[in-house]
Amino acid sequence: MYSKTIFFTAMRNAVLLLLIVALFSCSAEKRKIEERIISVYSTKIVLGDTIKDKLLYQISRKDIPPNINEVKTIWYKEKAVPDTSFFRNKVKDEKIGNKTYSYIDDKLASVMINNNDTLFYYDADNLKNPDQYFVLDRDSVETIMYSYYTKVKTQAMRIRKNNNRDPVYIMYLGEYIPDQVDLEMFSPAEIEKKKEEARKVEIAEYEYIYAE
């Protein structure tokens, strides 16, 4: 279950990464940066009032080359509030043929098999059972994104750049509604009510420090 959470979190972060890389596209030079996600927090609307639901800090270092497919996360650590303890995850992907093995802290987390336009995702806990996997084709990826996150919108609200016109600070606003699968048991009116009651907004602030 842990590796599934990591996988779908990575899918969500990939959407933000597309926006980030687009902002770096004006520079053709391959550069190392330190990406500090200084405050990621989500809010929840309860009875018309917006309250803070959780707060998260992350620091990661990335290579941001012109080709988005070559982006690499060098290391990553995270702090969640109210838990004040830091933990550090070493994330590594190893590609052998059409298989990609993902490791977290040197422990196998998942295996993805690429077959033409279809990805077969195996949780590490289910590798002994070949019938337990996710099928990720172009259509199901959109379904999974809607089912798990139901992202309404993500946009950069504030951007500060240095003299080279590289971003040094970005604030993103993302809005989400609940898991559609969990809402299928309710009537349309109940679904709309629950969507409004449980609607969440995520705000992420990023700082970038460039290597010389």
Q: Any residues with CB less than 8 A from the CB of 58 and at least 6 apart, and which?
A: 36, 37, 40, 76, 77, 78, 79
With a CB cutoff of 8 Å and minimum separation 6, the contacts of 203 are 39, 40, 41, 42, 43, 171, 172, 173, 174
Higher local confidence (pLDDT), 8 or 135: 135
The whole-number pLDDT of residue 190 equals 72
Residue 8 vs residue 98, higher pLDDT: 98
Residue 128 corresponds to which tokens in the numbers above? 């002994």
Comparing 128 with 26, the larger pLDDT belongs to 128
pLDDT at 77 over 50: no
Element (H, E) at 183: helix 180-183
- Global pTM reads 0.36
In the predicted model, is pLDDT for residue 167 greater than 60?
Answer: yes
Is pLDDT at 27 greater than 50 in this prediction?
A: no
Q: Give the closest residue to 13 by CA, choosing from 53, 40, 45, 33.
A: 40
Average pLDDT in the 69-76 region?
44
Which residues, in sequence order, are bridge partners of residue 136? 119
Q: How confident is the model at residue 203 (pLDDT cuts 50, 70, 90)?
A: low
Q: What is the pLDDT of residues 140-155, one digit of tens each?
A: 443 333 333 344 556 6
pLDDT of 106 strictly over 80: no
Mean pLDDT to the nearest integer, 87-95: 64
- Sheet containing 49-64: order of strands: 86-89, 72-81, 49-64, 31-46, 200-210, 167-176, 151-161
Q: Are strands 167-176 and 107-115 parallel, antiparallel or unpaired?
A: unpaired
Chain mean position to CA 202:
12
Query: Higher model confidence: residue 87 or residue 36?
Result: 36
Domain membership of residue 58 as a residue range: 2-210
Q: How many domains does the chain have?
A: 1
